[in-house]
Amino acid sequence: MSQKVETREFQTEIKQLLDIVINSLYTEKDIFLRELISNAADATEKLRYLTLSGDEIADKDLPLEITIETDAEAHTLTISDNGIGMTREELIANLGTIAHSGSKEFINQLAQTSRESKGSSAGEVALSLIGQFGVGFYSAFMVADKVTLSTRSYRTEDESYIWTSDGSGSYTLEKGEASGRGTRIVLTLKPDAYKYAEPDNINKIIKQYSSFVPFPVKVNGEKANTVEAIWVKNPAEISDQEYEEFYKYLANAFDEPYYKLHFSSDAPLDIKALLFVPKENFESMGFSRMERGVNLFCKKVLIQEKSEAIVPEWARFIRGVIDSEELPLNISRETLQDNALVTKLNKVVTGRFLKFLDEQAKNDPDKYREFWDKFGNFLKEGAATDFVHKDALVKLLRFESNMTKDKELISLEQYVQRMQEEQKGIYYVSGYNRESIESGPYLEIFKDKGIEVLYVYETIDDYVLNSLPEFQGKKIIAAEQDSEDLPEISEKQSESEDEIPQDEVEGLLTWFKETLGGKVTEVRVSKRLVDSPAVVLSTFGTNSMARMMQLMNKDQGGAPPSILEINSSHPVMKGINDLHKNNDPFATAAAEQVLENAQIAAGLVVDPRGMVNRLNSILERAVAHKE
């Protein structure tokens, strides 16, 4: 009795679909294997559900697993599962038409998505069709000249069928001889896809995309997915060793993680997350800029490796996985769509991580200090650029101060708790290091009054604090700023008998301004100096910003114009005043040196050539007077 082979034409829309899938829908050919394994896993999961529900199932003793066989000589790749299989009607409905829809509008949308995604990201927002139309199956034609599918439904009375097509426009359907339930797909590979008949390449793709499929995936008899998707388990059921092994696998690392965060959330999406902080920051060691290290999964299947959608750029040091069964994916399952929902997801994951760091900082300050030393610059970058999470990031910043001991750091919150009752704000001062700050003039009034001042050593610290108007209702004020909110010397001090007489001060200030010309914008008596003769205040806000402007404008030469404040009770100023009153030309050299000394104390770069000659003349005068 001859075997009846039925040839059927694809539905018109399927022809168009095949052309789009083969030529433009997927960006990587490797993804075909992910799609076929995912389909096999879905079919197996459905079978497991039917088993639990008590349905009568054929071949109950068959193991729930996915097998892959490679044949390099025949150039074939075979993927098999023992899932629910398909009937003849289901084969026609699922593979010969667009399931449950003959709509040309679907194809039109898909074609539009494909065209748009080539030139921009607009295609990412077009369709949310994952799992609805079985499109992933057709990705097999990217690598195969012919696809032969043998299947038998789980129902005990159903027969097996063979579906065959070269993807050109038709397919054949005939009865098969398979005795067991499930589906077996044989791909006859195209010449440019022969590499997919090599087990090493198949194992590599499985490791990248399908390591965590919930059923064994065997390649030529050996299990390929050996790592468990522990992020979907209850944290109470996972040992520290399991976390460490998973981290090493995920991050390709050799040491254990410094921090781990395992959590789940049901809003705005049902997600499960497992995040790690590495022990070392290789970026700070001179290695190249880190790539983001959070992988995005849907039902334990990799959708995006090193996703740029889930965590912000500053959080690129984080390693881990985010999994959701409700991700708004585009048709190829390679990119996310629904930007508003993705933004919310980013906010949930990032916010939860920052909350975790805040808890760690409070519960174990010493351990957080070590983390801050290695990864603090990432948080500073976030505080400077991430306006959504700025408040949470600012809480995590740490500083030295004039009141801290060696290696001790404090937060802005701790600073506020220690503020004096009448203190006007949170004060900070910038400098190259602790020694340069404490030897400069900007701390004098704060030391005198016992007020705490934060130390910042990097421009980004200054930028963050300068862009933050207040913290917990307290103004943030740079100690080197021209601000009315700075503390002042007491009235009793200001009436010192050692001061230059008031009727001479105005003349001295005018003379200083005329002598220094465009190097200063204003000269006035200081209310903050105790021991130093003078100080400069930047017109750019802080000295750190002035230094940055100076570096950006090297061609202009010299330090930028600034405000000069003089200490009218300092011996140097009284001496210059006497020289000025006596019309001694040496007063000009002394005034210029006072300004440059103050600029050096501010960390500004001063042209040494003119200063050297001036210092030599000052030394000559000092030596001559001594004689």
204 CB-near residues (< 8 Å, 6+ apart)? none
pLDDT of 132 reads 37
- Torsion 536-540-541-546 (CA) sign: negative
Measured CA angle at 245 (ends 239, 246), to 5 deg: 90
CATH 1.10.3720.10 is held by the domain 399-487: no
pLDDT of 109 reads 53
Mean pLDDT, the chain cut into blocks of 10 residues (627 residues total): 74 70 75 91 89 82 94 97 91 68 45 53 32 66 94 88 89 88 96 96 94 94 93 94 94 93 86 95 82 88 86 95 76 59 86 97 96 96 95 97 91 95 90 89 91 92 89 91 79 59 91 93 90 85 69 65 91 92 91 90 76 81 69
Phi (first) and psi of residue 310, to 5 degrees: -90, -35
Place domain 5-223 in its CATH homologous superfamily.
Answer: Histidine kinase-like ATPase, C-terminal domain (3.30.565.10)
179 CB-near residues (< 8 Å, 6+ apart)? 152, 160
Per domain, the residue ranges of the chain are 5-223, 230-365, 399-487, 492-627
Q: Is residue 274 within 8 Å of residue 257, measured between CB atoms? A: no
Task: Give bridge partners of residue 544 from the DSSP assignment.
Answer: none
Instruction: Write down the pTM of the prediction.
Output: 0.79
Residue 252, phi-psi category: left (phi > 0), alpha (psi -120 to 50), beta (remainder)? left
pLDDT of 1 reads 39
Q: Is residue 304 within 8 Å of residue 334, measured between CB atoms? A: yes
Closest CA to 508 of 482, 528, 526: 526
Q: To 10 degrees, the CA torsion angle through 399, 400, 403, 405?
A: 130
Distances (CA, A) of 576 to 244, 307, 584, 613: 69, 65, 9, 19
- What is the architecture, at CATH level 2, of domain 230-365? 2-Layer Sandwich (3.30)
What whole-number distance in Å separates Cα of residue 175 and Cα of residue 95? 16
Measured CA angle at 420 (ends 469, 543), to 5 deg: 45
CATH 1.20.120.790 is held by the domain 492-627: yes
Q: Is residue 48 within 8 Å of residue 89, measured between CB atoms? A: no
